[in-house]
């Protein structure tokens, strides 16, 4: 049997090496490769040989070119900073802003044909005009400048090609000459100068394919309620959701940098004014052992073996600081609201600008301080942040914010505001709360009547304000046997910009017994002896001056000042009911 099995295996021809392709002869009855298959295989082999020779020739040519590259040391990708021993270069670096400022007049650079500079910047775009010429645009903060890379006896074509192929958003180190442009460069903010590049090194290379372009972030989003799939040039609009999902790239837009410079400016102006009025900055807790202001709009978090809650505002602690004899306090800090509001003006986490102060005779002393504070902020934005404001408004075309003179801020009683709406055809009750459309409608009426985008609505109905709000002296709450202790008005107020609320405030109850009474009879009763409130109530048993204050939404100020269509654009990494990342 073994002999028969052995004899059944065809013998290999003696002149065919073992393992060679096609070496095994076809078995009896089987056909070998066809002539066309053999011919195709030969062609493939010839093609592969030619490709290998061509590649070898190109590599040899490149090697020869590299050997003759006069700019070989003047361009390329630098080693990652920190990966090698640090050796200082001693080369002084400048910024694009310094270049623009120093050479605002180009006469000083005409004589020598250019001034050598070294700076680091971002490549906004790069393109090869030809084998001998590339153009780039460098960006640094809000400044951009055009650069030229031109082949010469001292600058190789290889460097030109490299420069034109640097991916957008890469960070580069540039050595070059500042020169006057033949004509203004309209695509750059520094239009009268350009950089003639002599050395170009990539410090941090960006991916060639980004999830979105920075230019997408610099186009306007549609207003709330509007639909837009393409812009005026026919390019598709990148949605707000896509932009927020790629927020790091989105924030690189020049107008976004301007937005957050303005936001920082509002905070600085807020603190600057109040410090001048004798206020001291405080930092109140954001983790609470129990909800403090009632309602269900509070976030709970695990806190060791128990539960804690994120603060809805610093309200109660501000008042306790007044009782602690600080008398004028302010705070800038996060505020958390578990409201399932998916609108263009609501966030679940925002920045609150809060203040509280003792007054002498009437809560309008505090209202006046708040009015002057807001005017100080608005005028500061007009003067100190005009460039940033104009940049953003060039994208979101909004009319100039109309301001009243100091001391002439429209301060309208709530009842008068209701009457203005009725005269305009709206059916609304005396003590009804205002909806967002109602607020906007009233804002338009106030603008028409008073010529101001900024106004105060005073003496709100008591039944729509928190338990710690002081009832107006005419309110039944001050009577012993009132049938409706929540009727009437209160010493409370809201501030508005372009018909939308930015500040809510009031005189607070500073008497412990009256506070307990109001907590129990409020439309949403709370227990003054509960864990979250008893320390607050007791603070007023030790003697507390009359006081009032307010809380301002920072993002709303920025949104309404600039005319942004959505408050999320005024938050670095916004949080809403559907977003907790990035």
Which is the catalytic residue, given 393, 501, 510, 518? 501
Tens of pLDDT, residues 426-450: 999 999 999 999 999 999 999 999 9
Which is the catalytic residue, given 243, 346, 510, 568? 346
Confidence of residue 541 (pLDDT cuts 50, 70, 90): very high
Active-site annotation holds for 568: no
CA-based end-to-end distance of the chain? 75
Q: What is the pLDDT of residue 133?
A: 97
Q: What is the pLDDT of residue 295?
A: 59
Determine, yes or no, domain membership for 78: no
Determine, yes or no, domain membership for 9: no
Q: What whole-number distance in Å separates Cα of residue 220 and Cα of residue 228?
A: 10
Q: Which is more confidently placed, 86 or 20?
A: 86
Q: What is the pLDDT averaged over residues 134-140?
A: 97
Active-site annotation holds for 235: no
Instruction: Indicate left, alpha or beta for 158 from its phi (over 0: left) and psi (-120 to 50: alpha).
Output: alpha
Q: Is the dihedral of CA 529, 532, 533, 534 positive or negative?
A: positive
Judgement on whether residues 477 and 501 belong to the same structural domain of the protein: yes
Judgement on whether residues 449 and 519 belong to the same structural domain of the protein: yes
Judgement on whether residues 131 and 223 belong to the same structural domain of the protein: no
Judgement on whether residues 221 and 183 belong to the same structural domain of the protein: no
Q: What is the pLDDT of residue 64?
A: 60
Determine, yes or no, domain membership for 36: no
Determine, yes or no, domain membership for 34: no
Tens of pLDDT, residues 513-524: 999 999 999 999
Q: Which two tokens stand for residue 309?
A: 């809650």
Helices (H), 165-289: 214-217, 240-245, 247-250, 254-276
Active-site annotation holds for 501: yes
Q: What is the pLDDT averaged over residues 415-425?
A: 97
Q: What is the pLDDT of residue 108?
A: 66
Q: What is the pLDDT of residue 62?
A: 67
Q: What is the pLDDT averaged over residues 394-406?
A: 90
Tens of pLDDT, residues 78-119: 999 999 999 999 999 999 999 999 988 766 666 566 789 999
Q: Contact 214/170 with Cβ under 8 angstroms?
A: no
Judgement on whether residues 445 and 317 belong to the same structural domain of the protein: yes
Judgement on whether residues 368 and 310 belong to the same structural domain of the protein: yes
Q: Using DSSP, state whether 353 is helix, strand or coil.
A: strand
Judgement on whether residues 231 and 299 belong to the same structural domain of the protein: no
Burial class (CB in 10 A: 0-12, 13-18, 19+), 309: buried
Q: In this predicted structure, which of 36-40, 140-144, 341-345 has the lowest mean pLDDT?
A: 36-40
Q: What is the pLDDT of residue 21?
A: 45
Q: What is the pLDDT averaged over residues 396-410?
A: 90
Instruction: Name the average pLDDT for the chain.
Output: 90
Q: What is the pLDDT of residue 9?
A: 43
Q: What is the pLDDT averaged over residues 325-335?
A: 97
- Please say if the pLDDT value at position 580 is more than 60: yes
How many domains does the chain fold into?
A: 3
Q: Which is more confidently placed, 319 or 65?
A: 319
Q: In this predicted structure, which of 27-41, 137-151, 495-509 has the lowest mean pLDDT?
A: 27-41
Helices (H), 137-253: 157-164, 214-217, 240-245, 247-250
Q: Contact 262/555 with Cβ under 8 angstroms?
A: no
Q: Contact 63/187 with Cβ under 8 angstroms?
A: no
- Please say if the pLDDT value at position 419 is more than 80: yes
**Cβ neighbours for 256, distance < 8 A, ≥ 6 positions apart:** 217, 250, 569
Judgement on whether residues 342 and 420 belong to the same structural domain of the protein: yes
User: How many other C-beta atoms lie within 10 A of the C-beta of residue 219?
Assistant: 17
- Please say if the pLDDT value at position 404 is more than 60: yes
Confidence of residue 60 (pLDDT cuts 50, 70, 90): low
Q: What is the pLDDT of residue 122?
A: 97
Q: What whole-number distance in Å separates Cα of residue 253 and Cα of residue 264?
A: 17
Q: What is the pLDDT of residue 33?
A: 75
Q: What is the pLDDT averaged over residues 309-336?
A: 97
Active-site annotation holds for 575: no
The pLDDT > 70 percentage for the chain reads: 89
Q: In this predicted structure, which of 183-197, 212-226, 368-382, 551-565 has the lowest mean pLDDT?
A: 212-226
Which is the catalytic residue, given 120, 219, 252, 345? 345
Q: Using DSSP, state whether 337 is helix, strand or coil.
A: coil
Q: What is the pLDDT of residue 406?
A: 81
Q: Which two tokens stand for residue 322?
A: 């007044």
Active-site annotation holds for 394: no
Confidence of residue 8 (pLDDT cuts 50, 70, 90): very low
Cβ-count burial 244-255 (b if 16+ within 10 Å, e if not): bebbebbbbbbb
Judgement on whether residues 326 and 234 belong to the same structural domain of the protein: no
CATH number at residue 187: 2.40.50.140
3-state DSSP of 496-551:
EECCEEEEEEEEECCCHHHHHHHHHHCCCCCCCCCCCCHHHHHHHHHCCCCEEEEE
Which is the catalytic residue, given 191, 415, 504, 530? 504
Judgement on whether residues 137 and 279 belong to the same structural domain of the protein: no
Determine, yes or no, domain membership for 39: no
Determine, yes or no, domain membership for 153: yes
Which is the catalytic residue, given 247, 556, 568, 571? 556
Q: Which two tokens stand for residue 514?
A: 């009256």
The pLDDT > 90 percentage for the chain reads: 76
CATH number at residue 525: 3.30.930.10
Which is the catalytic residue, given 77, 339, 365, 368? 339
Active-site annotation holds for 49: no
- Please say if the pLDDT value at position 550 is more than 70: yes
Active-site annotation holds for 275: no
Determine, yes or no, domain membership for 56: no
Judgement on whether residues 171 and 263 belong to the same structural domain of the protein: no
Judgement on whether residues 394 and 520 belong to the same structural domain of the protein: yes
Determine, yes or no, domain membership for 452: yes
Which residues constitute the domain of residue 194? 96-204
Sheet strands side by side (includes 287-288): 287-288, 306-310, 300-303
């Amino acid at each position: 049997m073994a002999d028969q099995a052995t004899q059944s295996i065809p013998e290999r021809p003696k002149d065919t090496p073992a393992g060679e392709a096609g070496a095994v002869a076809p078995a009896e009855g089987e056909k070998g490769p066809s002539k066309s298959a053999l011919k195709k295989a030969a062609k493939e082999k010839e093609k592969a040989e030619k490709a290998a020779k061509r590649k070898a020739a190109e590599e040899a040519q490149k090697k020869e070119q590299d050997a003759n590259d006069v700019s070989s040391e003047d361009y390329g990708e630098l080693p990652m900073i920190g990966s090698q021993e640090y050796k200082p270069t001693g080369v002084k670096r400048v910024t694009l802003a310094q270049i623009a400022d120093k050479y605002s007049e180009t006469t000083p650079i005409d004589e020598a044909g250019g001034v050598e500079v070294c700076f680091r910047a971002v490549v906004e775009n790069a393109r090869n005009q030809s084998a001998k010429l590339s153009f780039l645009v460098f960006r640094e903060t809000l400044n951009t400048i055009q650069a030229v890379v031109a082949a010469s006896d001292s600058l190789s074509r290889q460097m030109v090609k490299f420069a034109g192929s640097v991916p957008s958003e890469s960070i580069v180190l540039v050595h070059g000459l500042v020169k006057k442009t033949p004509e203004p460069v309209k695509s750059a903010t520094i239009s009268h100068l350009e950089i003639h590049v002599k050395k170009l090194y990539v410090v941090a290379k960006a991916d060639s394919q980004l999830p979105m372009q920075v230019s997408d972030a610099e186009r306007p989003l549609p207003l709330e309620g509007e639909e837009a799939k393409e812009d005026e040039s026919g390019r598709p609009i990148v949605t707000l959701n896509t932009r927020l999902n790629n927020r790091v790239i989105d924030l690189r837009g020049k107008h976004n940098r301007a937005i957050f410079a303005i936001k920082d400016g509002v905070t600085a102006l807020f603190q600057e004014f109040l410090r001048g009025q004798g206020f001291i900055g405080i930092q109140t807790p954001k983790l609470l052992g129990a909800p403090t202001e009632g309602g269900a709009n509070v976030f709970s978090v695990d806190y060791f073996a128990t539960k804690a809650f994120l603060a809805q505002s610093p309200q109660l602690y501000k008042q306790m600081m007044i009782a602690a004899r600080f008398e004028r306090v302010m705070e800038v800090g996060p505020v958390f609201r578990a409201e399932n509001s998916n609108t263009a003006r609501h966030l679940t986490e925002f920045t609150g600008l809060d203040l509280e102060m003792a007054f002498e005779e009437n809560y309008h002393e505090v209202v006046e301080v708040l009015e002057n504070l807001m005017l100080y902020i608005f005028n500061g934005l007009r003067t100190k942040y005009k460039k940033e404001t104009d940049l953003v408004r060039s994208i979101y075309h909004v009319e100039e914010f109309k301001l009243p003179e100091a001391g002439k801020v429209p301060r309208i009683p709530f009842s008068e505001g209701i009457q203005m709406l009725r005269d305009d055809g709206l059916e609304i009750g005396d003590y009804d709360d205002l909806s967002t459309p109602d607020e906007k409608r009233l804002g338009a009426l106030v603008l028409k009547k008073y010529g101001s985008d900024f106004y105060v609505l005073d003496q709100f109905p008591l039944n729509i304000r928190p338990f710690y709000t002081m009832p107006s002296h005419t309110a039944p709450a001050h009577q012993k046997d009132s049938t409706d202790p929540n009727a009437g008005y209160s010493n409370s107020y809201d501030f508005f910009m372009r018909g939308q609320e930015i500040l809510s405030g009031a005189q607070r109850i500073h008497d412990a017994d009256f506070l307990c009474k109001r907590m129990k009879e409020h439309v949403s009763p709370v227990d003054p002896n509960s864990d979250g409130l008893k320390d607050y109530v007791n603070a007023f048993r030790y003697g507390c001056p009359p006081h009032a204050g307010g809380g301002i939404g920072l993002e709303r100020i920025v949104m309404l000042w600039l005319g942004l269509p959505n408050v999320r654009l005024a938050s670095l990494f916004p949080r809403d009911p559907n977003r907790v990342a990035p």
